[in-house]
Amino acid sequence: MTQDLTPKQALIIDCDPGVDDAVGLLLALAAPQLEVLAITTVGGNVPLEKTSRNARIVSAAAGRADVPVFAGAARPLARPPAGAGEFHGAEGLGDETPTEPQTALAEGEAADALIDIVRSRPARTVAVAVMGPMTNLALALRRAPDLVDRLAPVVVMGGARSEGGNITASAEFNIWADPEAAAEVFDSGLKVIAFGLDATHQVRATEARIARIEAIGGEAARLAASTLRFSQRIERQIVGWEAAPLHDPCTVAWLMRPDLFELRPCRIAVETISDLTRGHTAVEFRVEAAAAPHLWAVSADGEGVFDLIARTLEAAA
């Protein structure tokens, strides 16, 4: 038997589980090429107490209750907390009835933990995947601007360009929920790889794809399939879509299989002033390379992403 000596990509996941966050966490925790150092939580889809509880429920389902979970910001930098309970269930995990996790939260606060972990490792060896409002990352960058030169890669689920918005006509939920934080992150000098609705709407939980995950067996696949089924029902009811889009796992999928996505260099600016277009992401491709610090996902291989999720959960079951 040959041993794989490729170093694992170290990763911190910042999230607000959230049904699609849950699938993203389950994928990352089962991925042989990733080493999840910590999970940090933020208030978003549901309040912070629930996202922090749900993160621990999901990591236990993955058999990874050892991964520390640090609670972070309960509210956006400058706005009242928003919520998206209608798309995630009142408790945030769809049809699941959460019970109190066996593991306590880690001591310390998310932004500080992020700083400490990143500084404890060689520069540019720790990735961050942001799956919720960007409040924790913005706070970390305020406190430790050196993270700009230490973090890489930074992958975020957020924004919308050609697809239009999902919370307002022009804004995607994560950016809309804390536009000031998103603006600070995009303006910080960090190179951000953004997976907005243009890409995530190409990754659809079709009946056949959900059934494949359902058939795997084991707690991680069961939970993933349960949240996907919930999304399928809710998106049919509220939006009228036959198959629900899968957002947050795209960040993890790219870290595992970048070939599943097409990215374009760009500059990303966030609207923070207008009420009408709050949280709109102005994604500008028409700039010189030096003025295009970010990458925007323009397309995704939906079948490939679901195949990756199914294979990864199968191998870990």
Binding region for Ca ion (CB under 5 A): 16, 18, 21, 131-132, 248
Q: Which amino acid is at 45?
A: N
Would you put residue 63 in left (φ > 0), alpha (ψ -120 to 50) or beta? left
Q: Which amino acid is at 311?
A: R
Q: Which amino acid is at 265?
A: P
> For residue 311, what are the contacts with CB-CB under 8 A and spacing of at least 6?
none
Among 42, 114, 157, 253, binds ligand BDR (CB under 6 A): 157
Among 20, 96, 235, 271, binds ligand BDR (CB under 6 A): 20
Separation between Cα atoms, residue 29 and residue 252, nearest integer Å: 10
Task: Give the one entry of Ca ion, ligand BDR, none that residue 172 binds, where binding means its C-beta sits below a cut-off of 5 to 8 angstroms depending on kind.
Answer: ligand BDR
Q: What angle do CA 247, 240, 228 make, to 5 degrees?
A: 40
Total residues contacting ligand BDR by CB under 6 A comes to 15
Pair of tokens at residue 186: 């995009």
Tokens 């990864």 belong to: 312
Pick between residue 235 and residue 292 the one whose CB is nearest to ligand BDR.
Answer: 235
Pick between residue 155 and residue 292 the one whose CB is nearest to ligand BDR.
Answer: 155
Among 40, 41, 45, 59, binds ligand BDR (CB under 6 A): 45
Asked if 14 is part of the footprint of ligand BDR (rule: CB under 6 A), the reply reads: no
Task: Give the one entry of ligand BDR, Ca ion, none that residue 87 binds, where binding means its C-beta sits below a cut-off of 5 to 8 angstroms depending on kind.
Answer: ligand BDR
Asked if 247 is part of the footprint of ligand BDR (rule: CB under 6 A), the reply reads: yes
Asked if 301 is part of the footprint of ligand BDR (rule: CB under 6 A), the reply reads: no
Q: C-beta of 93: minimal distance to ligand BDR in Å? A: 11
Asked if 235 is part of the footprint of ligand BDR (rule: CB under 6 A), the reply reads: no
Chain length of the chain:
317
> What residue number has its CB nearest to ligand BDR?
173
> For residue 64, what are the contacts with CB-CB under 8 A and spacing of at least 6?
29, 36
Q: Which amino acid is at 276?
A: L
CB 190 within 8 Å of CB 134 = no
Task: Give the one entry of ligand BDR, Ca ion, none that residue 173 binds, where binding means its C-beta sits below a cut-off of 5 to 8 angstroms depending on kind.
Answer: ligand BDR
In this structure, the strands spanning 9-15 and 34-41 are parallel
Binding mask 70-109 for ligand BDR (x = CB under 6 A): --------------x--x----------------------
Q: C-beta of 245: minimal distance to Ca ion in Å? A: 12
Pick between residue 138 and residue 144 the one whose CB is nearest to ligand BDR.
Answer: 138
DSSP for 107-161, written as a single string? SS-HHHHHHHHHHTS-TT-EEEEE-S-THHHHHHHHH-GGGGGTEEEEEEE---S
Asked if 198 is part of the footprint of ligand BDR (rule: CB under 6 A), the reply reads: no
Give the catalytic positions in this structure.
247
Among 54, 136, 174, 312, binds ligand BDR (CB under 6 A): 174
Separation between Cα atoms, residue 93 and residue 19, nearest integer Å: 5
Chain residues in the site for ligand BDR (CB under 6 A):
18, 20-21, 45, 84, 87, 131-132, 157, 166, 172-174, 247-248
